[in-house]
Amino acid sequence: MNPTEVTHIAKAFGDTKAVVDVSFTVHPGEIFGLLGPNGAGKTTTIRIMLDIFKPDSGEVAILGGPMTEEKKERIGYMPEERGLYQDIALDRCLVYLATLKGLSKSEANERLDGYLERFDLAEHRKKKVKELSKGMQQKAQIINTVLHQPELIIIDEPFTSLDPVNTQLVKEIMGELRDSGVTIIMSTHQMHQVEELSDRILLIDEGRDVLYGNLNDIRRQYAGNAVLVRADRQLPQIPGVESVVQHNQATKLILAPETTPQQVLHTLVDDGVTLEKFEIAFPTLDEIFIQVVEPGED
């Protein structure tokens, strides 16, 4: 059973078509990246998945079928529009929201202790939420999403407002959750985080799915005819190379259409160049994203 199956959903608000045609499947135990520019329809898609909106057409199967009240307890959701009760103590807020997810009060309190310690919020537990910094509230929001130990987590921009230390902590927790079999759908603009964490992605643009599948396959698909080379000395002139650009610690060689990477490798070895790195230059997700969603581009 796939935790999420979305089939040709569409949703309009008045004359605005928020989602035109989106389909995808999320596999058990994976971190699935849901990407797209602002206004692409990501949030509406998520809200349809969670049964907050009904689709005008299409179908959604969550945890094996339509959404039910019981299934809501097996799902953790962190929306893009962060929301916690501001005028009450942090622990009271999180325990209340956890009880709405089916935990008993004592169970929620017990689990909360561990998470507050881990997120360095234990000493702030009695503070009103509004007294916490933005980063602390973000951490509290993440605790709220995972406290009831859901099977499926839908998380929108999880790293916003987090410093590098806490970003790493959240990544670790996401990794642990995935390893324990939890499925995570992560929507974010931070492409490097998706590259690091996600196995598969869906890119939505103007309400349609424009890119979907395994991340490595997609990068391969979008890879141009180029190689990344790092050598012990200056590279010689290589026939069939159209241009040379510096790329991080390496040199990116853009090849002519008729040139193959094997020919370039051969030339370098024949020239006696000691190679520290030689690999096919896959595009970054950022580059693919821009290429796909930029107006006038395919």
Partner 1 sequence: MSKTWLVASYDIKKHVYKRSFVLILLSVPFFVTIFIGFIALTISFENSSTPLGYVDHTGLLSDPIPLPSGEDEKRVEMVAFDTEEMAMAAIEAGEIQAYYLLGSDYFENREVELVYLEEPGDNARSDFYDFMQVNWAADQPIEVVQRVAGGNNVIIRSLDGRREFSTSGPTPGQLLPIVIGIMFIALVLFSAGYMLEGVTEEKLNRTIEVVFTSLSPTRLIGGKVLGVLGVNSLQLITWVFVGILAIFFARNVLNIDWLDNLQMQWDTVAMVAAVGVLSYLVATALMLAFGSTVVEAQEGQAVGMIFYMLFMIPLIAIVAIGENPNGPLAIGMSMIPFTSVLTLSLRSLFFTVPAWQLAASIFVHLLFVLAAVWLATRAFRLGMLRYGQRLKFKEIIGRAKSTGAEGGGA
Q: Which residues bind partner 1 (CB under 8 A)?
A: 13, 16, 18-19, 39-44, 47, 50-54, 69, 72-73, 75, 77-79, 81-88, 96-97, 99-101, 144, 207
CB 23 within 8 A of CB 42: no
Q: With helix as H, strand as E and coil as C, how does 92-126 read?
A: HHHHHHHHHCCCCHHHHHHHHHHHHHHCCCHHHCC
Nearer to partner 1, 131 or 242 (CB): 131
Nearer to partner 1, 101 or 200 (CB): 101
Cα 215-216-217 angle, rounded to 5 deg: 90
Nearer to partner 1, 147 or 226 (CB): 147
Shortest reach from residue 257's CB to partner 1, in Å: 40
Residues forming beta bridges with residue 65, ordered by sequence position: 62
Give the Å distances, CA to CA, from 237 to 6, 22, 24, 220, 276.
51, 48, 46, 27, 18
Nearer to partner 1, 32 or 53 (CB): 53
Please state, in angstroms and rounded to a whole number, the distance separating the CA atoms of residues 198 and 32.
5
Shortest reach from residue 238's CB to partner 1, in Å: 48
Listed residue (119, 154, 156) closest to 140, CA to CA:
119
Nearer to partner 1, 161 or 284 (CB): 161
Nearer to partner 1, 141 or 259 (CB): 141
Shortest reach from residue 40's CB to partner 1, in Å: 7
Alpha carbon 33 to its chain centroid, in Å, reads 4
Shortest reach from residue 26's CB to partner 1, in Å: 17
Please state, in angstroms and rounded to a whole number, the distance separating the CA atoms of residues 125 and 28.
34
Shortest reach from residue 123's CB to partner 1, in Å: 23
Listed residue (80, 111, 83, 81) closest to 95, CA to CA:
111
Shortest reach from residue 85's CB to partner 1, in Å: 6
